[in-house]
Amino acid sequence: MAEKIVLIDGHSILNRAFFGLPDLTNAEGLHTNAIYGFLNIMLKILEEEKPEYLTVAFDVHAPTFRHEMYADYKGTRKPMAEELRQQVPVMKEVLTAMGIRIIEKAGLEADDLLGTIAGRCEASGMEVSVISGDRDLLQLATEHTKIRIPKTKRGGTQIEDYYAADVKEKYGVTPHEFIDMKSLMGDTSDNIPGVPSIGEKTAAKIIAEYHSIENAYEHVDELKPPRASRALKEHWDMAVMSKTLATICVDADIDYDIEGARLGNIFTEQAYPLFQRLQFKNLLGRFEVEGPKNEVEDHFRIISSRAEAETVFERARKAERVGAAILKNTADVPPLFASQAKAGGAALCFGEEEIYCICAGEELAAKEILEKLGQTAAGAGCFAIFGLKEAMASFTPGRQDNCFDGIIAAYLLNPLKSDYTFEDVAREQLSLLLDEKQEDEARACYEAYCAWKSQPILADKLEEAGMLRLFEEIEMPLVFTLFDMERNGVKVEAAELKDYGDRLAVQIEKLEQEIYQESGEVFNINSPKQLGVILFEKMGLKGGKKTKTGYSTAADVLEKLAPDYPFVAKILEYRQLAKLKSTYADGLAVFIGEDGRIHGKFNQTITATGRISSTEPNLQNIPVRMELGRLIRKVFVPEEGYVFVDADYSQIELRVLAHCSGDRQLIEAYREEKDIHRITASQVFHTPFDQVTDLQRRNAKAVNFGIVYGISSFGLSQDLSITRKEAAQYIEQYFKTYPGIKVFLDNAVAQAKEKGYVTTLFGRRRPVPELSSSNFAQRSFGERVAMNSPIQGTAADIMKIAMIGVERQMKERGMRSRLVLQVHDELLVEAWEPEVEEVRKILKNEMEHAASLEVPLEVDMHTGMSWYEAK
């Protein structure tokens, strides 16, 4: 095996880490997030590649030769943020302490150092990995040098790898030609001007054909489009200069001794105190040496005696604020089922030095501890915990109104994260970094301490953001409502579900045979790849490429072909049936519990807009639009002696829009209580109400939907299969009819641009970071988000208020009826027969009066002996 070297573009990765992580500071106030992120990326790569050598290259921060030479042409390079600048020397110090080779040289950019070293190493037979956030480096890719670009996606960092062949595949040009391509298209992030009016597409085309700008220039009159030809002629000097700027030097005159880059143990004695100072606590565990514990840990007390436990509970009960955590009993549970682990005790914190973990054992049963915990919670002024709904599987808080869930608070403060953990809260709110490996008891103590410590901080932040009422009056009460819904579950007829699945299986089998017959081949119909080949190559249908990996076989593509090819219609039917069987018939069956009911989860911290989400299984996407799918709802039934009452809001989002925009015309339309899409059609198309055609109504409906989604002429044109121009005209007419709506939507975007977020009627925030993107598509997306989120979010808020109200009414009246499902604008109640009329009244009243808007909120209601009947 060839030896391996990893080369890191220091500033580029620091920069990426800086913008990818929330702000972190250590006790001295030194910002540390970029260093932390850098180390994480580096460690991940080292673990993956296990190289023999490692070198990090930095720019020297004086203007370099290449840049100086063309100083006039180069835009102003943004000064580095101070928070990042101060981390650079510390980063170098850390790397040096870890025994990692750093290279920098005045007059040379990191790119040139990397290029030169990569070239030398490869020449001596090594495999090279270059790590950078900068695509510029792609020109260095060869068969033995791969360029690795870490990307921060939602959820974590992925790394894109490029060997020469990958560059060719993605851009259609060789790494060397990539330089020429850049010279034409330019690169704003790297201050390469390029040739005006030539973009990525044109540049790629020209270079793919002519291979270099020089050759292209020789054939300049043949270049297409003519615009590019003119541009290159006129700006040839710019192209040449850009090429100089874009070319990375691979034969720089540097001293580089490979042995100086050999990788040893990087968790050195010298690095340890540095890591401590930077408070990278979860990395400290990687050092062999044993460090002193965090001061907080000195106050952890693990208790298993009854007498001591009682004292602690008693003192906690009287405390103004208590933080708590459930101790998981992982001992007798295999790791795979760790999430199902039963509680083995509880941790409590009610002061900086009052942190206890009470464990079950010979003296105390877990059950007793948890019962005590519930009682204790009732006494405390504030009971803080992370993940209350989940914790309630183990205990019941004695009171609801003093509970504070730090996870929910963290979600409201930033709803864009993919998950919420107490470790994140500790890091973000308390600047406390935890050791990775912890005993269960210490973990529980930490969690209880963080709950206690972070509560006032989170509450202050909620207050400051204007979300404290939202938190206290909607989100926290909702925790209990959702908990009850999950515990209630919904009854599903297992036998009938199986029958349904069997009937589907028969039809699927039949279709499958017909499809094989007609295509003359047995293949996997479920594989879009194979299907694409059969349809578009073997059978020669026209419908070109659409996805990165090949032909698109999505329904909207196939639907256009179906009228002409019955075969395609069969594929669509097969797909439909296969979906119903796998996701619904078979998929739901596995969730039916011993009690004959499905206890799905309703998640409160998933969506960016404030909606609830449903998983394991998803009960919010049970088919309804097509009759065949809709039949599944017949297996959702009420228990003996009960009936279903289903209530759904009529067009809640449009009504919210009418209210929030204050548009007189739309408000009037709703007060008339007539068919809103017909009214819209009548007004937009200047047609008397009774003469509106079905087509006009359908179009008006699509525009109404489009408005809610953050309209664009493109999107509308796709939806209605009309030209963009026509779509644009519809929109223009619409805004003329409802001028208030245009003002409202424009305001939403303006607010998002100014403040970075939009808000709902109840103060819920949704950040819109995409608006500051330099990418057009991203920015447009941000604009649509800014328009849609206040509407979707306000509707979600209203539904949450209604749910709390409905449940409260049913509980206060001691009713047996119970809430079982929520589907965004719909509630399903399993009503005890004698209570049906009362349930109907409660649902109607609570839902219609959950908010008082300028327009009435209307609720449609149905009863039935299955979800199918009640909808």
Partner DNA sequence: ATAATCACG
Partner DNA sequence: ACGTACGTGATTATC
**β partners of residue 31:** 25
* Residue 772 binds DNA (CB under 7 A): no
The three-class DSSP label of residue 291 is coil
CB of 612 to DNA, least distance (A): 9
Give the Cα separation of 344 and 336 in Å (integer): 18
Q: Give whichever of 719 and 869 is closer to DNA, judged by the CB atom.
A: 719
Q: Which of 189, 215, 340, 621 touches DNA by CB under 7 A? A: 621
Residue length of the chain: 871
Kindly report each contact of residues 741-748 with a partner whose C-beta sits within 8 Å and lies 24 or more positions away, as own/partner.
741/657, 741/661, 741/663, 741/666, 741/707, 743/661, 744/657, 744/660, 744/661, 744/662, 744/663, 745/661, 745/707, 745/710, 745/711, 745/787, 748/786, 748/787, 748/790
* Residue 582 binds DNA (CB under 7 A): yes
Footprint (CB under 7 A) of DNA, residues 547-576: 547-549, 552-556, 558, 572, 575-576
Q: Give whichever of 526 and 691 is closer to DNA, judged by the CB atom.
A: 526
Q: Which of 823, 842, 853, 870 touches DNA by CB under 7 A? A: 823
* Residue 528 binds DNA (CB under 7 A): yes
* Residue 414 binds DNA (CB under 7 A): no
Fill in the per-residue mask, 216 to 255: x = in contact with DNA (CB under 7 A), - = not in contact.
Answer: ---------x-x----------------------------
The three-class DSSP label of residue 383 is strand
Per CB under 7 A, the segment of 208-216, 276-284, 529-537, 831-839 that binds DNA is 529-537
CB of 195 to DNA, least distance (A): 12
Q: Give whichever of 81 and 761 is closer to DNA, judged by the CB atom.
A: 761
The one-character DSSP state at 439 is -
Give the Cα separation of 576 and 331 in Å (integer): 45
Structure tokens at 489: 């579950």
* Residue 789 binds DNA (CB under 7 A): yes
Q: What is the rounded (10 degree) CA torsion for 749, 675, 858, 664?
A: 50
Q: Which of 124, 526, 691, 773 touches DNA by CB under 7 A? A: 526
Q: Report which of 303, 322, 311, 310 is spatially closest to residue 360, judged by C-alpha positions.
A: 303
CB of 862 to DNA, least distance (A): 13
CB of 535 to DNA, least distance (A): 10
Exposure b/e, 559-579, CB count within 10 A at least 16 = b:
eebbeeeebbebbebbbbbbb
Structure tokens at 339: 């999430």
* Residue 826 binds DNA (CB under 7 A): yes
Give the Cα separation of 750 and 808 in Å (integer): 39
Q: Which helix (H) or strand (E) holds 367?
A: helix 366-379
* Residue 822 binds DNA (CB under 7 A): no
Structure tokens at 866: 């299955």
**β partners of residue 385:** 324, 405
CB of 274 to DNA, least distance (A): 31
* Residue 153 binds DNA (CB under 7 A): yes
Structure tokens at 719: 């939806």
Show the DSSP H helices in 471-561 as ranges: 476-488, 494-519, 528-532, 555-561
* Residue 776 binds DNA (CB under 7 A): yes
Footprint (CB under 7 A) of DNA, residues 843-862: none
* Residue 587 binds DNA (CB under 7 A): yes
Q: Give whichever of 333 and 631 is closer to DNA, judged by the CB atom.
A: 631
Fill in the per-residue mask, 100 to 139: x = in contact with DNA (CB under 7 A), - = not in contact.
Answer: ----------------------------------------
| Gyration radius of the chain over CA positions | 32
Structure tokens at 529: 């790849």
**β partners of residue 343:** 328
Footprint (CB under 7 A) of DNA, residues 656-715: 702, 705-706, 709-715
CA distances from 359 to 315, 370, 386, 438, 448 (A): 17, 10, 19, 16, 14
Contact 675, 681 (CB under 8 A): no
Contact 135, 160 (CB under 8 A): no
CB of 572 to DNA, least distance (A): 7
* Residue 864 binds DNA (CB under 7 A): no
Structure tokens at 292: 């002193």
CB of 673 to DNA, least distance (A): 20
CB of 625 to DNA, least distance (A): 3
Q: Give whichever of 5 and 612 is closer to DNA, judged by the CB atom.
A: 612
Q: Give whichever of 551 and 832 is closer to DNA, judged by the CB atom.
A: 551
Q: Which of 315, 579, 599, 634 touches DNA by CB under 7 A? A: 579
CB of 235 to DNA, least distance (A): 15
Footprint (CB under 7 A) of DNA, residues 590-619: 603, 606-609, 611, 613-618
Footprint (CB under 7 A) of DNA, residues 623-662: 623-626, 629-630
Q: Give whichever of 406 and 501 is closer to DNA, judged by the CB atom.
A: 501
CB of 528 to DNA, least distance (A): 4
* Residue 583 binds DNA (CB under 7 A): yes
CB of 628 to DNA, least distance (A): 9
Footprint (CB under 7 A) of DNA, residues 156-195: 158
* Residue 765 binds DNA (CB under 7 A): no
Q: Give whichever of 361 and 629 is closer to DNA, judged by the CB atom.
A: 629
Footprint (CB under 7 A) of DNA, residues 705-744: 705-706, 709-716, 718-719
CB of 111 to DNA, least distance (A): 25
Contact 177, 212 (CB under 8 A): yes
Structure tokens at 750: 């303006």
Footprint (CB under 7 A) of DNA, residues 466-525: 524
Q: Give whichever of 465 and 608 is closer to DNA, judged by the CB atom.
A: 608
CB of 537 to DNA, least distance (A): 14
CB of 140 to DNA, least distance (A): 23
Question: E strands along 127-248, which residues?
Answer: 127-131, 145-153, 156-162
CB of 630 to DNA, least distance (A): 7
With contacts defined by CB under 7 A, how many residues of the chain interact with DNA? 83
Give the Cα separation of 720 and 699 in Å (integer): 7
The residue to which tokens 């198309």 are assigned: 685
Structure tokens at 467: 């979300």
Give the Cα separation of 98 and 261 in Å (integer): 12
Q: Which of 777, 812, 814, 852 touches DNA by CB under 7 A? A: 777
For residue 758, which phi and psi values (nearest 5 degrees)?
A: -120, 165
Structure tokens at 198: 């030539």
CB of 104 to DNA, least distance (A): 33
* Residue 412 binds DNA (CB under 7 A): no
Q: Which helix (H) or strand (E) holds 682?
A: helix 676-684
CA distances from 317 to 343, 381, 610 (A): 21, 9, 34
Q: Which of 788, 794, 809, 866 touches DNA by CB under 7 A? A: 788
